[in-house]
Amino acid sequence: VRMMRFSEAIDDAISEAMAEDPRIIVYGEDVPLLRRNLLVRFGGDRVRGAPISEGAFLAAGVTAAMAGLRPIVEVYMADFLGVAVDALLNHASKVRTFSGGTWTAPLVVRVPCGAGYGDGGQHGQSLWGWLAHIPGLVVAVPSTPADAGGLMTAALRHEDPVVFMEHKLLSESWLEFLGSSGRRAVSFDVPAEGARGPCPRPWQPLPFGKAICRREGTDVTLASVGVGVHRALEAAVLLEKDGISAEVLDLRSVSPLDVDAIRASVSRTGGLVAVDEDYQGFGLTGELAAVVAEAGIPARFARVATSATIPYARNLEAQALPSAERIRRAGMGLAQGGTT
Amino acid sequence: MDADLWSLYGLMFRSRLFEEAITRLWNDGLISGEMHLGTGEEAIDAGIVAQLRDGDAMALDHRNTPALLMRGVDAVAILRELLGRPSGLCGGLGGHMHLASRQHLAAASGIVGGTGPAGVGFALAAKTLRPGTLAVSFFGEGAMNQGMLLESMNLASAWKLPALFVCKDDGWSITAASAEMTGGDLAERARGLGLETAEVDGLDVEAVWAAAEVAMSGIRAGGKPVFLRARCTHLEGHFLGFQLLRAVREPLKEAGSIAVPLAGSLLRPGGGSLAERVSGLREVLARMRAALADPARGEAGDPVARVRARLTDVARRESVERDVERAVASAVAEALEEHAP
């Protein structure tokens, strides 16, 4: 066990996988600089910079994968997937079905996501629900360095496309590059346990669709991914002071979703607060409600998500994103039998 | 008609002081997120904007402050937006990459290449609703590799739209040298899509102004859309606090955090051959050196200094500068006054 920071763990897992599997290559905008540590270990044929042409280089990753490579394609931010989404929506996700199961596209898309550093509504979206909506894509959203390295290790061994989402608030390098940029006069609400933590050596793949219970509780279940898990853990501490015992479930991947773990937890607690930094409508929170309802589990339900375009102003941004306080209020409401 | 160098200098000098004030506010943590300045491209913005007329539209990229300011958008409203105030230009909701002024038909986007289609839509509305007006798209040469920008040039050609595409070419696609990321010649690309093309020294405001006049009069008269390429240097790199520039300006502070993991990875067992590793290291070092040692980031690459040197009536120049300094200082004070808790 060693202590690692979030992106350091991802880079380390990639570096180890690349040493074992010569099919793995990495490319994307600014990759020679951003992944300079991989470049000096593996050389320019395997670590390559790309022009600002997301549509072309993401789609090229699909067929490169079909033809035998294992590309990690980096896209600067989840928001910019909008420029290139055809590659995922109409191609990567369809390869296995369209080929009658005879062909696959083992492509990993590494993409920073998330808000909390005041970069405006076009550079802080989460969008994992939007991606998970498409059948045929694995969407992983780690919340700790250990999970990040483990899920990346799994992604690089997976036979189908994986979107690996790296929250910028947990990432020491993205937050420095985009948020503080050398300034001391700015601060961010970074969850310490998510930004740095113990990591296994060597890396072991974490299976997709396996949630983990971060905190046990009896009165209500708080379920989330990424930074939302840490906000839920903070809320659980607050709720405990209110006499409410909250369980915190870290889903780790949005697709596949660990339906069994969600149902088991909610069956015990009788209440679910779905916490999601992604948009509220037609997304993960609604999906969680459906998972519980479809199983006929009688449970109270509430959700804390982002319901509108993320505002630029830091104070408004903080109000728009799920906070421990908003989660606490939702948990209280359920425990007091408010919402059904 | 000759360019009025005094008024062009006024626009540029005001923009420079304004963005220097923004830099201070950003350094103090009062402006959040990324901050992309237009320092170094003022001659391009001034030369183009000074040729615009009422009803013309602007599709702006992430370096939008100079053009908006020069177009007449209220300086205090811009500052308050950057400070995230409800009284800001966009209510504090948009932020610096997404400034917009409906009254001025000007809208910005932080998506590279997005100003191509945005300009085409403005041009379609111009042609349909306001004959004789036009739309300008501003973008960098890095965006020329973005499909939607090339598609929009073709669209403007096919639909014979009053569109001017202004390529502010600083040679850098974020941290990569554009020459290494780009095949062929940019003007040739634009010609291949049916556009008229022109090249101009983007540090020479008079030349930009004259080229804009030719381009716009052709467009207004129903001619082909135009691709205007103007070279410049962004004095602060890609954005404020740009890691590569920090590493050269404060090497002791920054170099260790770069060099230590780099050396560790270079020597790590497994991976590429020695030759591959050495070539990888060369590429990293060359990239950093190129960004750091860009000689154009000195006075020679500064369009404001260049036009200033041509204004030989020192007393008049100092008087113009004093007025601008006072105006900018007062706008900052007014914006901050409301910002105080």
pLDDT digits 0-9 by tens, A104-127:
999 999 999 999 999 999 999 999
At B237 the pLDDT is 87
Tokens 């003022």 belong to residue = B42
Enter the tokens of residue B126: 């111009």
Enter the tokens of residue A185: 């006069």
Q: How far apart are CA B244 and CA B145, in angstroms?
A: 23
Q: Which whole-number Å values give the CA distances from A257 to A71, A134, A288, in the listed order?
A: 24, 13, 9
Percentage of residues of chain B with pLDDT beyond 90: 77
Which DSSP string do the residues of B2-50 spell out, in sequence order?
---HHHHHHHHHHHHHHHHHHHHHHHTTSS-S-----TT-HHHHHHHHT
Q: Which whole-number Å values give the CA distances from A106 to A71, A97, A166, A228, B209, in the listed order?
A: 8, 14, 19, 28, 52
**pLDDT tens digits along A5-33:** 999 999 999 999 999 999 999 999 999 99
Q: Pairing mode, if any, of strands A212-215 and A246-250?
A: antiparallel
At B242 the pLDDT is 82
Whether B226 has a pLDDT exceeding 80, the answer reads yes
Find the length of chain B: 341
Whether A308 and chain B come into contact, CB under 8 Å, resolves to no
Name the 3-class secondary structure at A86.
helix
Amino acid at A221: T
Whether A340 has a pLDDT exceeding 80, the answer reads no
For B247, the closest chain A residue by CA position comes to: A182
Quickly list H helices, chain B: 5-27, 42-49, 65-71, 75-82, 115-129, 147-158, 178-181, 186-192, 205-220, 243-249, 251-266, 274-292, 303-310, 314-339
B251 min Cα distance to partner chain A (Å): 13
Q: How far apart are CA B320 and CA B6, in angstroms?
A: 9
At B241 the pLDDT is 85
**Confidence band for A277, pLDDT divided at 50, 70 and 90:** very high
**pLDDT tens digits along B51-101:** 999 999 999 999 999 999 999 999 999 999 999 999 999 999 999 999 999
Q: What is the pTM of this model?
A: 0.95
At B292 the pLDDT is 65
Tokens 């660990």 belong to residue = A258
Which of A40, A45, A313 shows the shortest C-beta gap to B84?
A313
Determine which of A10, A39, A176 to mutate to test the interface with B (most B C-beta atoms within 10 Å): A39
Asked if B108 and B99 touch (Cβ cutoff 8 Å), the reply is: yes
The total of other beta-carbon atoms located within 10 Å of residue A218's CB is 12
Average pLDDT rounded to a whole number, residues B226-255:
84
Whether A123 is a known active-site residue: answer: yes
For A41, the closest chain B residue by CA position comes to: B266
Whether A205 and chain B come into contact, CB under 8 Å, resolves to no
Amino acid at A143: S
Whether A309 and chain B come into contact, CB under 8 Å, resolves to yes
Whether B6 has a pLDDT exceeding 50, the answer reads yes
Q: Which whole-number Å values give the CA distances from A259 to A89, A132, A262, A264, in the listed order?
A: 24, 14, 5, 9
Name the 3-class secondary structure at A58.
helix
Whether A186 has a pLDDT exceeding 50, the answer reads yes
CB-side exposure of B130: number of CA atoms within 13 Å?
15
Q: How far apart are CA A77 and CA A75, in angstroms?
A: 6
The answer to which of A97-106, A176-185, B224-233, B293-302 has the lowest mean pLDDT is B293-302
At B298 the pLDDT is 74
Q: How far apart are CA A322 and CA A276, in angstroms?
A: 7
Q: How far apart are CA A305 and CA A288, in angstroms?
A: 12
**pLDDT tens digits along B184-213:** 999 999 999 999 999 999 999 999 999 999
Burial bucket for residue B45 (CB in 10 Å: 0-12, 13-18, 19+): buried
At B143 the pLDDT is 98
Amino acid at B121: G
Enter the tokens of residue A337: 């039998």
Between chains, do A33 and B98 touch, taking CB under 8 Å as contact? no
At A339 the pLDDT is 44
Between chains, do A29 and B173 touch, taking CB under 8 Å as contact? yes
Q: Which helix (H) or strand (E) holds A261?
A: helix A259-269
Q: How far apart are CA B294 and CA B298, in angstroms?
A: 8
Q: How far apart are CA A38 and CA B197, in angstroms?
A: 41
For A84, the closest chain B residue by CA position comes to: B147
**Confidence band for A65, pLDDT divided at 50, 70 and 90:** very high
Average pLDDT value for chain A: 97
**pLDDT tens digits along B8-64:** 999 999 999 999 999 999 999 999 999 999 999 999 999 999 999 999 999 999 999
DSSP-assigned letter for residue B102: G
Residues in B touching A38 (Cβ below 8 Å): 265
Q: Report the greatest alpha carbon distance in chain B.
A: 68
Percentage of residues of chain A with pLDDT beyond 90: 97
At A5 the pLDDT is 98
Determine which of B93, B292, B339 to mutate to test the interface with A (most A C-beta atoms within 10 Å): B93
Which DSSP string do the residues of A167-198 spell out, in sequence order?
ETTT-HHHIIIIIITT-SS------HHHHEEE
Q: How far apart are CA B261 and CA A314, in angstroms?
A: 33
Between chains, do B173 and A179 touch, taking CB under 8 Å as contact? no
Between chains, do A19 and B181 touch, taking CB under 8 Å as contact? no
Spacing of C-alpha B304 from chain mean position? 14
Determine which of A312, A314, A315, A319 to mutate to test the interface with B (most B C-beta atoms within 10 Å): A312
The answer to which of A152-166, A174-188, B95-109, B321-335 has the lowest mean pLDDT is A174-188
Q: How far apart are CA A144 and CA A195, in angstroms?
A: 7
Q: Which helix (H) or strand (E) holds B108?
A: strand B106-108
Partner B, chain A 21-80, Cβ-Cβ below 8 Å: 29-30, 32-33, 36-47, 49-56, 79-80
Asked if A180 and A126 touch (Cβ cutoff 8 Å), the reply is: no
Catalytic residue of the set A91, A123, A167, A230: A123
Sign of the dihedral through C-alpha A243, A244, A245, A248: negative
